Chains A and B, each alone.
Chain A
Amino acid sequence: MDDLSKKRGAWGSRIGFLITTWFAAIGIGNMWRFPFRCAMNGGGAFLVPYLLFIITVSLPAVTAEAAAGKYAHSDAVGSMGKVGGLRGGGVMMLVLNLFGAYYLVVVSQSLYWFGHAIKNTFATESSESVWAAFMDNKMLCFGIFFVTLILSAIPPYFGIKAGIERVAKYIGGFAIIVIAIGAIRAITMPGAIDGIVYYLTPDWGKMFTASTMTSALSQAYFTFGAGWGWYLILSSYLKKESDVGFGHLTTGFADTFFALMAGFAIIPTLFASGYNSENIGTLGSSTAYIAMPKVFQGMAGGYIISVLFFAALFFAAYSCAYVLVEVIGSFFIDTLGMSRKKGTIIAAVLLLICGTPAALSSYVLDSLDTIFGCYLLPLLVTVQVISFGYRFGANRLRIAEYNMYGNGYLGKWMTYLYLYWVPVVNVFLMVYFAWSMSGEGNPWYYGWKGFAVILIVTLAVVIGFDRADRKKGLPYDGMPEKADS
């Protein structure tokens, strides 16, 4: 192990790194949102563009981010500075992750439901009343958020190998086994075949509709989590002889494999429990906690299935939460030179401050989710493209990182997609969201004005840091040691 790896920490095993990146990509959205989006947007007609977008948009964006992390071996701010000279982009990534504390609130809801599944509450109480009681009790919401935050800070506190990797291997392995068993069981249930037909049969008439294409694009785009800096940080702990390009193909395949399996576990189960193509459309991401407990109560072995399902749901959500803490903690460790334990505790305190409003108000949670998801995330991916792709050079990154110590050759098509196609998709998404949410009934900051504010703030921070670095005599020339000095 080289000196840098000893100082910063490094992955203990390749499978540990892979499972951590897979589950950072999977998250809660893939387990619940994907099957419904797929089924309601024409089944196979949704799947085809979705898979294409995964390969042509998400994969190039995530691979470049990861390669930049490995090249710089530093936190988000340090890596953005070393690789592209735009430290301000790294600062905005930190801001995104700090206010991304609202995601911990989403994780806390899955933890709460997991607890009720263990207690078998749904045998005596309706899921609606449990949900309503939870949402009305603000102290309880805050308490569960606080517990989730502590749980999320534990793996980074103990480091990469002893903390994050160890936890990811256990919970990732568990979640994969549970979902695989759930899928096999579901498709063998009486009536499940109708669910498979509903889930996968292509309705080609829907394929080229704006609704299906934007739904497939946004699902493919957001499921990976490019722009958060998660892959940048996780890959920054790779040893120099480890692959950072070809291996991310496994992340792309794992992410969608898990989503497809979740669909096989959920949709046929709902059909076997009495739902049909007419009323299943009333379900959605917000009813994950309402519909499934009822379905499990009516099944043989429902208690065990319920516990396993909600455990897998919580673990899928939790696997992103500790990476989020790590992104912030690594800034204090790498840039400010603090110890890992101290840096992680400060990150957790900041997340507590930033996440509490979202824990106490679902309105704040929805607003942050909308604004950050629709505008800041695509904007930061665009800043990354400018930084890694144009300033440093996507081809340099390909030669130096994808293909040096790589496990397979990646051609120039990756750089072309990253330089030209990914920014087009980013701009399209931001404009589409601003246009579609500017209507009546939405707050002003959901539409064009919100987009403008996020754009101005991001540009001000990125340009401001760039100017400050130039004043200090650090004009960026692509040489890591100069940008670092």
Chain B
Amino acid sequence: MTGMTWLMVIVVLAWTALFLYFTMHDLKCESKKEEIIAKGEELDPFLFTGEKARAEAREAYLNNDKVLKHFFEEEDVVKFLGIEGK
């Protein structure tokens, strides 16, 4: 086997590792969410996507994006957008 073949074997192994990592991450996040809901606690919609996602959602809401504003209100997530007084 040449060095190039080994390089491609490493690419395949890296791809496999990424597959396993993302799958485990996904399952872990989903089970954490289920745990929170089962405890009767409120689930923060941005728990795993972070403050950047929250800030983008907040900006859309404050900029009066009528579709997203309606969606956030219907889904009852406005309280998680970090808007003072909400």
Check A197 against B67 for contact (C-beta < 8 Å). Answer: no
Assembly CA distance A196 to B2 (angstroms): 11
**A15, A197, A246, A254: which contacts B1 (Cβ < 8 A)?**
A197
Q: Which residue of B7, B23, B50 contacts A250 across the interface (Cβ within 8 Å)?
A: B23
Using Cβ atoms and an 8 Å threshold, which residues of chain A touch B52? 409
Closest Cβ neighbor of B18 among chain A residues: A253
Distance in angstroms between the alpha carbons of A478 and B69 in the assembled complex: 12
For B54, the closest partner residue in chain A by CB is A403
Q: What is the bound-complex CA distance between A403 and B18, given in angstroms?
A: 20
Q: Which of B15, B16, B30 gathers the greatest number of chain A CB atoms within 10 Å?
A: B30
Contacts of A48 in B (CB 8 A): 11
What 0/1 readout, one digit per residue, does chain B (30-71) give for beta carbons within 8 Å of chain A?
110100010000010110111011001100100001111011
From B5, B7, B18, give the contact of A196 (CB < 8 A): B5
How many chain-B residues does the 8 Å CB contact rule pick out?
A: 43
In the bound assembly, the distance between CA atoms of A197 and B2 in angstroms comes to 8
Which one of A47, A193, A242, A403 contacts B30 once the chains associate, using CB atoms below 8 Å? A242
A342 at the A/B interface (Cβ < 8 Å)? no
Q: Which of A249, A399, A407, A479 contacts B57 (CB 8 A)?
A: A399
Evaluate contact between B33 and A405: CB separation under 8 angstroms: yes
Once A243-B30, A253-B18, A408-B49 are accepted as A-B contacts, the answer to whether A396 and B8 lie under 8 Å apart by CB is no
Of A15, A197, A404, A479, the contact of B45 (CB 8 Å cutoff): A404
The interface residues of chain B, by DSSP majority, are classed as helix
Docked complex: B65-80 residues within 8 A CB-CB of A: 65-68, 70-72, 75, 77
Instruction: Judge if A241 is at the interface, Cβ distance under 8 Å.
Output: yes
Pick the contact of B67 from A193, A200, A241, A479 — CB < 8 Å?
A: A479
CA gap between A18 and B31 in the complex, in Å: 14
Contacts of A241 in B (CB 8 A): 33, 37, 43, 45
Q: Is A60 an interface residue (CB 8 A)?
A: no
Q: Mark A233-247, 1 if CB is under 8 A from B, else 0.
A: 000000011110011
Residues of B within 8 Å of A470, CB to CB, are: none
**CB-contact partner of B26 in A247, A410, A477, under 8 A:** A247
Our pick among B26, B60, B65 for the contact of A14 (Cβ within 8 Å) is B26
**A284 to B59 alpha-carbon distance, docked (Å):** 53
- Chain A window 409-421, contacts with chain B (Cβ cutoff 8 Å), 1 for yes, 0 for no: 1100000000000
Report chain B residues within 8 Å CB of A249: 22
Is residue A112 within 8 Å, beta carbon to beta carbon, of the partner chain? no
A240 to B77, CA, bound (A): 11
Q: Please give, as numbers and ranges, the residues of chain A lying within 8 Å of B68 by CB-CB distance.
A: 396, 399-400
Residue A155 at the chain B interface, CB threshold 8 Å? no
Q: Which of chain A's residues have a CB closer than 8 A to the CB of B72?
A: 400
Q: In angstroms, how far is the closest chain A Cβ from the Cβ of B14? A: 10
Contact B66 A404 (CB under 8 A): no
- Which of B12, B37, B46 is most buried by chain A, counting CB atoms within 10 A of its CB? B12
B5 touches A197 (CB 8 A): yes
CA distance A256 to B14 in the complex (A): 12
Q: Which residues of B have CB within 8 Å of A400? A: 57, 68, 71-72
Asked if A49 lies at the interface with its beta carbon under 8 angstroms from chain B, I say no
Q: Please report the C-alpha to C-alpha distance between residue A396 and residue B53 in the assembled complex, in whole angstroms.
A: 12
Q: Cβ of B66 and Cβ of A479 under 8 Å apart?
A: yes
A403's closest neighbor in chain B, by CB? B53
Q: Contact at A403–B8, with CB atoms within 8 Å?
A: no
Among B11, B16, B53, which residue has its beta carbon within 8 angstroms of that of A409? B53
Identify the closest chain B residue to A393 (Cβ). B67
Q: Which 3 A-B pairs have the closest CB atoms?
A: A253-B19, A403-B53, A407-B29
Identify 13 new A-B residue pairs, CB closer than 8 A, beyond the known A44-B7, A260-B16: A14-B30, A15-B27, A47-B11, A51-B15, A201-B8, A250-B26, A253-B15, A399-B57, A400-B57, A405-B45, A406-B48, A407-B49, A479-B67
A-B contact pairs, 13 of them (CB 8 A): A14-B27, A43-B8, A193-B1, A197-B5, A240-B75, A241-B33, A242-B30, A400-B72, A404-B49, A404-B75, A405-B33, A407-B29, A407-B30
